């Protein structure tokens, strides 16, 4: 008879192997889950039960490596021999060896490489490869070391609200060792999925000493089969860590994240204090691909979501809502401060400002308060601002305190000083932390309590307990969002007010600058021009142009539309292909494609009448979608279809064509512009176009682009490599290999340039990777020796 626990376990298994549980064909190593066990006398039995990872602590004795099990010592060779025998009869498995401790890592790697002769992988770069790529290369053994791992547990995640405290180290680009003391099957299933949902990281190694190995294996298999939403968040081309999620305040993830798709459809909204992330909200459902989606973060203007802004220059005026004049004030005054000009001054009991208008703050999302304070004295409590029962920012024996009424005082022990101006910022992050900053520097954070939402009006200089502030207050600002540390520094360093003496200094400085400009102009007019002799240079450095953020449509990598302001419209798969085809066709036919070619490409074998209906209907719908994007439209001119874009929309293929033409022109004149070359390489860093689109026309353009890029970069290298920085030559070679992984000319360039830079290990790794790819594709060894490539 099935027990309750057995039924629960069965329900989990059925859910995650149902029609949503399609196999993941493109999982990276850091997406994959291994059932793991420590090494014992024999591993063959465990391998047959499904264990695919083993923990080892080894030491070197003479030429041998010894595994220490705690009670016994085992020769590493005997364990590897068992593993090798298993792999000879089971070709598909990928087995991970996790070396927690080793005295000589390099010697151990050399030993393992010789033993497994090409079927072993260990990490040399930041990104982890895909599982299917490793298997295609014949890799059967994955070697990881303690430095590749971070350790955590469900208890640690539940206890810690701070992102980094949940792990033994930053989990970005690391594998997760998830340790659980669960003693029931259902508990481990619950724990691993709770961990995944809360951290955005799948547990790569599950260590459960109190459970039968078959239970761990089932858990690992279920996780690997579970559909998922994956994403990457970038800021200025770099990864941006510690992402929060609206409606899931306890969820904090790294820049590379994934979530289990446990429902037919999930809505996700990322946010991070001080940034605007686009797309701001996404829907992911079972019919979509599990390929990672790119999110991009941008700086927000400081005034974004600013609800209250009091400078006290002209009395009590909220500069966000200047027409509001129903405030209530009691016993307040304004004084002229030597440092900050006109400021609010409170020196009587029960003095305050009541804004007299219900607040509209969203207490489910972050709130920030920034204020300049000059306390006259420090009694036990002094209220600075408050919103009814929701919260009060105050001083608790001089230390900053964010109080949620009747619930908790969030106090950082850092008393302010009497008689001097200090800048205080408090950022409330729901159900995570309250962060405190003083004079631009973070002074602490406290785990956040619950909060009682309140629509009561803002009170300044006092609070619901009558805790009076004594002293001066200036530049009070409150946001309905979280501030980043960068913004806090901007607030502290950006002085808005100037005293009379400072104004005199500014006026004097302006006069001096004006006089200097007049003198320089007069000098240049009198100075005779001297013609400098022209010298030829091997390359040109153009003046860097100020980068302006634009809407951007990218095809390199995958179809991605990013709008600076607003969310991008949704395209159907066919509409994405139509736009991509028309853009890519400009490479061959700048004036557009004929109706016949468009029809033959997308509606082959369909009658003329039906094809016309399909074409016209889809073009009409596509134009409606494109109408939401300023600058992009489909036009039909001179009996040809083409895409037209305005200057405010940047299309990477058109930028590719422009840079390519510029470089070819430069080369015809015997030079090359470094900025164009670097921009060209940067543009191509995501690889070939439309990587998830497998159609005949897409394959044609992929091959064409690959050939063009290889031809142009090889030409630049052959003619100019002696004049170019070696690091740039390495990038050129890697770019060619990105589009053609078996380009022997690019391999030789890469190895020669890496060796010249003294990076012999990277050069050898490049050769090994190339050889494995060659073997996987052609089923024969690569016939050129490493040393021959250095000639």
pLDDT in tens, 358-415: 998 988 889 999 999 999 999 999 999 999 999 999 999 999 999 998 788 999 999 9
Residue 9 pLDDT greater than 80, yes or no: no
* Integer Cα distance of 163 and 180 in angstroms: 19
Mean pLDDT in residue range 758-773: 87
Q: In this structure, is the dihedral angle defined by the CA atoms of residues 275, 279, 285 and 291, taken in order, positive or negative?
A: negative
Which residue reads 């539309």 in tokens?
561
Give the pLDDT band of residue 506 (cuts 50, 70, 90): very low
Mean pLDDT in residue range 288-308: 88
Residue 74 pLDDT greater than 90, yes or no: no
**Phi, psi (degrees; rounded to nearest 5) at 270:** -80, 150
Confidence at residue 510, expressed as pLDDT on a 0 to 100 scale: 52
Confidence at residue 497, expressed as pLDDT on a 0 to 100 scale: 41
Higher pLDDT, 13 or 664: 664
The least confident of 201-205, 386-390, 571-575 is 571-575
The least confident of 232-246, 427-441, 529-543 is 529-543
Confidence at residue 449, expressed as pLDDT on a 0 to 100 scale: 86
* Integer Cα distance of 652 and 650 in angstroms: 6
Residue 263 pLDDT greater than 80, yes or no: no
Residue 552: which H helix or E strand, with range? strand 551-554
Selected from 3.20.20.190, 3.40.50.450, 1.10.260.30, 3.30.70.920, the CATH number assigned to the domain covering 1-226 reads: 3.20.20.190
Higher pLDDT, 649 or 380: 380
The domain defined by 228-299 folds into Immunoglobulin-like (2.60.40)
* Integer Cα distance of 253 and 598 in angstroms: 44
Residue 277 pLDDT greater than 80, yes or no: yes
The least confident of 108-117, 496-505, 554-563, 670-679 is 496-505
Higher pLDDT, 500 or 293: 293
Confidence at residue 552, expressed as pLDDT on a 0 to 100 scale: 86
Instruction: Please count the CA atoms within 13 angstroms of the CA of 354 that sit on its side-chain side.
Output: 15
* Integer Cα distance of 275 and 273 in angstroms: 6
Q: Strand, coil or helix: what is 314?
A: coil
pLDDT in tens, 514-553: 555 555 555 444 434 333 333 334 444 444 344 455 788 8
pLDDT in tens, 406-415: 788 999 999 9
Q: What contacts 756, CB < 8 A, 6 or more positions away?
A: 726
Residue 189 pLDDT greater than 80, yes or no: yes
Residue 6 pLDDT greater than 80, yes or no: no
To the question of domain 551-652 being in CATH 3.40.630.30, the answer is no
Most confident of 26-40, 214-228, 343-357: 343-357
Mean pLDDT in residue range 199-203: 94
Question: CA distances (Å), 308 to each of 384, 546, 561, 641, in order?
Answer: 14, 33, 34, 52
Residue 778 pLDDT greater than 80, yes or no: yes
Mean pLDDT for all residues in the chain = 85
Residue 293: which H helix or E strand, with range? strand 293-299
Mean pLDDT in residue range 585-610: 89
Residue 267 pLDDT greater than 50, yes or no: yes
Phi-psi region of 557 (alpha: psi -120 to 50; beta: other; left: phi over 0): left
Which residue reads 């850091």 in tokens?
30
* Integer Cα distance of 26 and 693 in angstroms: 14
Q: Find the helix packing angle between 652-668 and 674-683, rounded to 10°.
A: 150
* Integer Cα distance of 302 and 664 in angstroms: 43
Most confident of 261-275, 383-397, 608-622: 383-397
Which residue reads 């014992």 in tokens?
40
384 closest CA partner among 440, 423, 342? 423
307 closest CA partner among 391, 370, 392, 400? 370
The domain defined by 306-493 folds into Jelly Rolls (2.60.120)
Give the pLDDT band of residue 656 (cuts 50, 70, 90): very high
Give the pLDDT band of residue 419 (cuts 50, 70, 90): very high
645 closest CA partner among 624, 668, 666, 629? 629
């Amino acid at each position: 008879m099935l027990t309750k626990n057995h039924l629960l376990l069965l329900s989990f298994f059925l859910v995650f192997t149902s029609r949503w549980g399609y196999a993941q064909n493109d999982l990276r190593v850091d997406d994959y889950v291994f059932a793991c066990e420590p090494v014992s006398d024999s591993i063959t039995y465990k391998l047959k039960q499904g264990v695919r990872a083993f923990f080892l602590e080894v030491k070197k004795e003479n030429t041998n490596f010894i595994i220490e099990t705690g009670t016994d010592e085992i020769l590493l060779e005997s364990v590897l021999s068992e593993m090798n025998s298993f792999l000879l009869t089971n070709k598909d498995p990928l087995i991970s060896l996790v070396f927690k401790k080793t005295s000589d890592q390099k010697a151990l790697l050399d030993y393992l490489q010789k033993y497994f002769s090409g079927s072993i992988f260990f990490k040399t770069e930041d990104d982890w490869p895909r599982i299917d790529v490793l298997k295609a290369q014949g890799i059967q053994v994955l070697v990881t070391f303690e430095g590749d791992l971070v350790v955590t547990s469900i208890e640690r995640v539940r206890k810690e609200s701070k992102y980094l405290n949940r792990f033994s180290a930053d989990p970005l680009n690391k594998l997760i060792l998830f340790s659980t003391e669960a003693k029931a099957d259902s508990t481990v299933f619950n724990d691993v999925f709770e961990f995944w949902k809360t951290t955005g990281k799948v547990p790569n190694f599950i260590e459960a000493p109190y459970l039968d190995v078959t239970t761990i294996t089932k858990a690992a298999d279920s996780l690997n089969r579970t559909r998922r939403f994956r994403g990457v968040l970038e800021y200025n081309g770099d990864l941006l860590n510690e992402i929060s999620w609206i409606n899931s305040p306890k969820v904090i993830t790294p820049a590379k994240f994934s979530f289990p798709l446990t429902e037919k459809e999930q809505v996700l909204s990322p946010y991070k204090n001080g940034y605007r992330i686009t797309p701001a909200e996404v829907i992911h459902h079972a019919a979509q691909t599990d390929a990672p989606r790119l999110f991009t973060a941008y700086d927000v203007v400081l005034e974004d979501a600013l609800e209250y802004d009091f400078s006290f220059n002209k009395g009590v005026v909220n500069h966000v809502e200047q027409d509001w004049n129903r405030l209530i004030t009691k016993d307040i005054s304004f004084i002229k401060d030597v440092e900050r000009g006109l400021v609010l001054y409170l020196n009587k009991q029960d003095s305050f400002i009541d804004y007299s208008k219900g607040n509209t703050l969203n207490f489910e999302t972050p709130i920030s308060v920034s204020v300049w304070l000059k306390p006259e004295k420090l009694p036990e409590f002094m209220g600075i601002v408050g919103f009814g029962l929701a919260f009060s920012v105050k001083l608790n024996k001089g230390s900053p305190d964010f109080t949620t009424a009747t619930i908790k005082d969030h106090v950082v022990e850092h008393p302010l000083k009497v008689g001097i101006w200090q800048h205080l910022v408090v950022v409330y992050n729901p159900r995570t932390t309250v962060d405190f900053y003083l004079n631009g520097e973070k002074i602490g954070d406290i785990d956040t309590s619950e909060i009682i939402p309140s629509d009561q009006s803002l009170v300044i200089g006092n609070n619901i307990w009558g805790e009076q502030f004594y002293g001066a207050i200036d530049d009070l600002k409150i946001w309905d969002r979280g501030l980043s540390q960068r913004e806090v520094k901007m607030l502290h360093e950006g002085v808005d007010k100037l005293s009379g003496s400072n104004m005199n200094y500014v006026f004097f400085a302006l006069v001096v600058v004006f006089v200097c400009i007049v003198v320089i102009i007069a000098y240049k007019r009198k100075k005779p021009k001297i013609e400098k002799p022209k010298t030829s240079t091997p390359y040109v450095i153009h003046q860097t142009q100020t980068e302006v953020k634009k809407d951007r449509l990218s095809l390199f990598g995958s179809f991605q539309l990013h709008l600076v302001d607003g969310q991008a419209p949704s395209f159907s798969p066919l509409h994405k292909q139509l736009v991509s085809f028309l853009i890519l066709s400009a490479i061959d036919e700048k004036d557009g494609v004929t109706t016949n070619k468009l029809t033959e490409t997308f509606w082959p074998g369909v009658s003329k009448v039906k094809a016309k209906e399909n074409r016209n209907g889809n073009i009409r719908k596509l134009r409606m979608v494109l109408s939401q994007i300023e600058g992009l439209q489909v036009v039909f001119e001179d009996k040809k279809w083409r895409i037209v874009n305005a200057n405010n929309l940047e299309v990477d293929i058109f930028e590719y064509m422009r840079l390519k033409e510029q470089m070819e022109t430069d080369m015809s004149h015997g030079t090359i512009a470094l900025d164009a070359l670097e921009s060209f390489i940067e543009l191509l860093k995501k690889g070939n176009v439309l990587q998830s689109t497998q159609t005949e026309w897409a394959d044609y353009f992929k091959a064409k682009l690959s050939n063009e890029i290889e031809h142009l970069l090889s030409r630049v290298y052959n003619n100019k490599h002696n004049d170019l920085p070696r690091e740039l030559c390495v990038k050129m070679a890697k770019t060619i290999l990105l589009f053609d992984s078996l380009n022997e000319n690019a391999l030789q360039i890469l190895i020669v340039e890496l060796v010249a830079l003294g990076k012999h290990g990277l050069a050898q790794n490049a050769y090994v990777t190339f050889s494995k790819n060659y073997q996987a594709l052609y089923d024969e060894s690569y016939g050129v020796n490493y040393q021959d490539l250095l000639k």
